[in-house]
Chain A
Amino acid sequence: MTTRIVELRQGILKKNDELARVLRGRFETAGVLVLNLVSSPGTGKTAFLERTLCELRGRGSRVAALVGDLETDNDARRLAASGAPVRQINTHGICHLEAEMVSRHLEGWDAVELGQLDYLFIENVGNLVCPSSYDLGERIRVALLSVTEGEDKPLKYPTLFNSADVAVITKMDIAEAVGFDRRAAHRNILEIRPNIHIFETSAKTGAGMDAWLEYLAQERVHRGA
């Protein structure tokens, strides 16, 4: 019996990465700016997205959303109230979205023609660890953090915050009531991801949404989406 070493040097998630590359190409060709929203459960991704979809539609943009959860289509129904096409992805126990799930849910989505969209938002499963490993073909990864979660969350979950392109602090309307230390939060985010854009928002009052929407519009221009 002979024993030997076979060098493989291959990415464990190469199937996901390859599919994500294909998706990214499709999104670019279609001219749609795709964003992947990640945070822990309860940060307010859905409320933030609801407000974003409504405001963008109000400004004449064409938007759609895919929303991931383990179970239920509650979030999709909530987001659909914005009037935008929304499709639920149920992962049935899987703690993150994968490129294959995005791809599968884009197929046969009659309400959506990618070429007719300006923005596609993908709301990931609420989880601050696992989604960081899975590329969904997005152009911008948005990490959200609410004022109730503790300013040191980025230090506790560096892998996710380091993989983000943009950070959004949510629920700013209750920042004072919960004793949110704004400077510490910014410092911690920047310690993990130097130079990242940080937005402070309230989906409830709409505070900070203008800066966020302005950023989205600029990204579409800059990236030629």
Chain B
Amino acid sequence: MHELSIVSSVVENVIDSLENYPGARVTEVRLRVGALAAVVEDSLQFCYGIATEGTPLEGSRLVVNLVPVTVHCDACGAEGAIESLQSFRCPSCGEPAGDVRNGRELEIEAIEIEDKEEVKS
């Protein structure tokens, strides 16, 4: 299980990007995770609470959008999602298709932030 390493990288990257938004608090982090990325959402969620403690991300939601695996078929030229991770075959013609186009993503898509309250004069 390397989800804690993954989540720690997420926290680190988000904190870096907050430099442009001083004082902002993070309310949501959205990830794009490919079905071939070898991470499990439950474990990510479990580690997220621990990894965000005491950071500007504390208390924020983690949203994980799963990206299906798509392949390009050399035989017929079609591109589409494979039916199962146990069979890398073209969804159109059924030939073996090893050219993976999507499904390895491990990305931070966006964050939702709350800006610091303006000081009223």
Contact = CB atoms under 8 A, between A and B. Distances in A.
Interface of A: 1-15, 94-96, 129-130, 132-133, 155, 158-160, 162-163, 190-196
Interface residues of B, number: 37
B17 A8 contact: yes
B47 interface: no
Contacts of A130: 1-2, 38
Given A12-B107, A160-B38, A193 B88 contact: yes
B109 A7 contact: yes
Contacts, number: 103
A3 B112 CA distance: 7
CB-CB nearest 3 A-B residue pairs: A194-B96, A194-B98, A130-B2
B98 A195 contact: yes
Nearest to A96: B2
B97 to A, nearest CB: 6
29 contacts: A2-B114, A3-B113, A4-B113, A4-B115, A6-B21, A6-B112, A8-B109, A9-B109, A10-B13, A10-B17, A10-B107, A10-B108, A11-B106, A12-B6, A12-B9, A12-B13, A12-B106, A13-B6, A95-B1, A133-B2, A158-B85, A158-B86, A159-B37, A163-B104, A191-B86, A191-B89, A192-B86, A193-B88, A194-B88
A9 B104 CA distance: 14
A11 B106 CA distance: 6
B17 A191 contact: no
B111 interface: yes
